[in-house]
Chains A and B, each alone.
Chain A
Amino acid sequence: MSAILDVKDLQTSYGKVNVLAGVSFSVQPGETYAMVGESGSGKTTVIRAIAGLAPAQAGSVKFDGQEIRGLPERAMRPLRKDIAMMFQDPIGSLSPRVTVRNLITEPYRIQGMKNKDIDAEAKRLLALVNLPSHFADRYPYQLSGGQARRVGVARALALEPKLILADEPTAGLDVSVQGELLNLLNELRDRLGLSMVIITHNLNVVRHIADRMGILYLGRLVEEGDTEAIFDRPRHPYTHCLLSANPEPDPDAQLERIALKGEPPSLLQRPSGCEFRERCPVASDICQQTPIWEVNNDHGLRCLTPR
């Protein structure tokens, strides 16, 4: 099976700031891939660079076998039918003066599909995301966070994309609504065979939606593999710290918490050797060497002192 998305050594710099220092991963058709990391790890830049919304100075992004990195906007536009974005801020990503009907059918206009019955399509899309059809006449300020999120999903689905790039799809949602959205995405994936890349720092969400996950630190993957395997046995100390930092909804939970030392280093002064070494609870002298990316049984790791 060939990958729907194949990213190789993707690099992005803003001036001197090297945000992505070579990110490689691939997504198979029908697969959900989660990219996890702290603020500033570059996760949003990864999907923006894939969609052509952020610069990528080097590397390759192949969508369905076709190289799309650095395509001019004119060549990119028809591809946007197949690659949909879901943005982070649900209400902020909707134009405040446009009705829901026009928001979710705007992709048709942009793609020049004039023969579509806009009303019928709006109804169909709203039904797809379980919103009543009278929502078509509402404006963004009349929506709750969860509803706005679903409008974002409807809009992303309008053109029946093959790939969805979702930036923090559950951020700012209440727990009861969060479950609804994840169920919806899972259901749509099963029904429409969508592939998804999800960016999040909410690990509880990752476990339930992603088949595979990658952990990003300072613009580099440090670990990648099957979601369940990583949750069961994180190998990289950073992954372990992240997973252990997850507060449990149980006052008697026995937490073996591994504290991360300090703050993420500046991207302007990347540490030598292993870039995680200064914050790592198990770093040793050997970590002054630069670890290489090693893949064993579909599990990738960049660490000289794995657990």
Chain B
Amino acid sequence: MSDTLLEIDNLSVDYETERGDLKALRDISFDVKKGEIVGIVGESGCGKSTLISSILRLTAPNTRFRQGEVRFNGDDILAMTERQMRDLRGSDISIVFQDPMQTHNPVLTIGRQLLDIQHRSKATTAQKLETAAKMLAAVGIPDPQARLKQYPHEFSGGMRQRIAIAMALMSEPDLLIADEPTTALDATLEVQIIERLKELQSEMNCAILFISHHLGVIAELCDRVVVMYAGAVVESGDVREIFHDPKHPYTRRLIECDPGHIKTRARILPTIPGEVPDLVNLPDGCIFRDRCEQAFDKCQQVPALDKLKEGHFAACWLNHPEETTA
């Protein structure tokens, strides 16, 4: 049995719009191994959400899968029937969403919601409640038995996000997708959530696909990082490689821009001038070319995501010395 859990191969996804096809994902390839934490970094509009909804096949009606495969435990998700998909969602793959204030049903108690999520289990209600309380305790909610009777509004934001994590982990999934789970939270709570995730991950050994634009969180939590820009993977690799030896100008600029990176007071912070290109009318060549300070003639052609060394890939002509000197 292979140790690869999720494989994404040359995935391209379009949205049909009035202006033409919006090429939301182009030629995305990466994989997630069993028990691994992979971070996806990218700014607004880079295709993070399209990627998640493609993996779960919860896509908008105007979505068109143009090419590529998404394999989970070797099975092609895109070829599955809706029935098979339903068996997968919430049991083998589960997700924690961004906004903890909106993920719970406000008119049902937390206990009820934790029961509902176990609808596949054959256990008795009492046993299910037992499991629910155990899960709440595992994510650090004090006095879980009493808390089961409470409604979402009786919990703080940080607690609600921990409950969302408890729900997602209830079925002991192989893959947990976490979509910016800490963005809506304070730094102190963010740290709590990350540490909790790390702990649970090592206990249950599930893989996590962690989506964030917060580089600090990614650096702290993830084993590997995939950097996306405007619907394409521009770089991927081991977390240390990405942060210490980035091989794509976008990754480099992104790290430089993070104010957490700049220890002394700066009056002028670095930025990436320009805007993300229109994905309906894609520019020719490298997608980052317009905003790249190091762009040269060769960048009029689209660079491939090349393997630079074991576990480090980047799509940039600068990594081809023969081209830069030509």
- A207 lies within 8 A of B265 (CB): yes
> What is the count of residue pairs linking A and B with beta-carbon distances less than 8 angstroms?
120
Give Cα A186–Cα B268 distance, bound, in whole angstroms.
8
Number of interface residues of B (CB under 8 A): 46
**B216 beta carbon closer than 8 Å to chain A:** yes
**A246 beta carbon closer than 8 Å to chain B:** yes
Name the CB-closest residue of A to B195.
Answer: A259
- A242 lies within 8 A of B259 (CB): no
- A242 lies within 8 A of B219 (CB): no
Given known contacts A175-B213, A183-B268, A249 and B186 CB-to-CB distance under 8 angstroms: no
- A176 lies within 8 A of B261 (CB): no
**A179 beta carbon closer than 8 Å to chain B:** yes
Name the CB-closest residue of B to A206.
Answer: B259
**A45 beta carbon closer than 8 Å to chain B:** no
- B216 lies within 8 A of A175 (CB): no
Q: For residues 191 through 205 of chain A, which have their beta carbon under 8 Å from a beta carbon of chain B?
A: 201-205
- B187 lies within 8 A of A201 (CB): yes
Given known contacts A175-B257, A249-B219, A251-B239, A242 and B187 CB-to-CB distance under 8 angstroms: yes
Give Cα A22–Cα B159 distance, bound, in whole angstroms.
28
**B76 beta carbon closer than 8 Å to chain A:** no
- B265 lies within 8 A of A227 (CB): yes
List, in ascending order, chain B residues with CB within 8 A of A202's CB: 187
Task: Report B212 CB to chain A, min CB distance, Å.
Answer: 10
Give Cα A1–Cα B143 distance, bound, in whole angstroms.
54
- B216 lies within 8 A of A259 (CB): no
Q: For residues 231 through 267 of chain B, which have their beta carbon under 8 Å from a beta carbon of chain A?
A: 239-240, 243-244, 253-255, 257-262, 265-267
Task: Report A229 CB to chain B, min CB distance, Å.
Answer: 12
List, in ascending order, chain A residues with CB within 8 A of B187's CB: 201-203, 242, 245-247
Name the CB-closest residue of A to B183.
Answer: A172
**A241 beta carbon closer than 8 Å to chain B:** yes
Task: Report B152 CB to chain A, min CB distance, Å.
Answer: 15
Q: Chain A 202-245, CB within 8 Å of chain B: the 1/0 string?
A: 11110110000000000000000001100000000000011001
List, in ascending order, chain A residues with CB within 8 A of B189's CB: 38
Q: For residues 30 through 51 of chain B, which have their beta carbon under 8 Å from a beta carbon of chain A?
A: 43-44
**A283 beta carbon closer than 8 Å to chain B:** no
Give Cα A140–Cα B13 distance, bound, in whole angstroms.
28
Given known contacts A39-B186, A247-B190, A249-B258, A174 and B216 CB-to-CB distance under 8 angstroms: no
List, in ascending order, chain A residues with CB within 8 A of B326's CB: none
Given known contacts A186-B268, A247-B194, A175 and B217 CB-to-CB distance under 8 angstroms: no
Give Cα A242–Cα B158 distance, bound, in whole angstroms.
15
List, in ascending order, chain B residues with CB within 8 A of A263's CB: 156, 158-159
**B304 beta carbon closer than 8 Å to chain A:** no
Given known contacts A247-B214, A249-B261, A174 and B243 CB-to-CB distance under 8 angstroms: no
List, in ascending order, chain B residues with CB within 8 A of A260's CB: 188, 192
Task: Report A232 CB to chain B, min CB distance, Å.
Answer: 11
Task: Report B136 CB to chain A, min CB distance, Å.
Answer: 14
Give Cα A242–Cα B187 distance, bound, in whole angstroms.
7
Q: For residues 192 through 223 of chain B, which have their beta carbon under 8 Å from a beta carbon of chain A?
A: 192, 194-195, 213-220
**A73 beta carbon closer than 8 Å to chain B:** no
Given known contacts A38-B188, A248-B219, A253-B219, A207 and B268 CB-to-CB distance under 8 angstroms: no
Task: Report B178 CB to chain A, min CB distance, Å.
Answer: 15
Task: Report A280 CB to chain B, min CB distance, Å.
Answer: 13
Name the CB-closest residue of A to B155.
Answer: A263
Q: List 20 A-B contacts (CB under 8 A).
A: A145-B44, A176-B272, A178-B257, A178-B259, A182-B259, A182-B269, A183-B268, A201-B186, A202-B187, A204-B258, A204-B259, A208-B265, A227-B265, A246-B216, A247-B190, A249-B218, A251-B220, A255-B220, A259-B195, A260-B192
Q: Which residues of A are in contact with B by a Cβ distance under 8 Å?
A: 38-40, 144-145, 174-180, 182-183, 186, 201-205, 207-208, 227-228, 241-242, 245-253, 255, 257, 259-260, 263-264
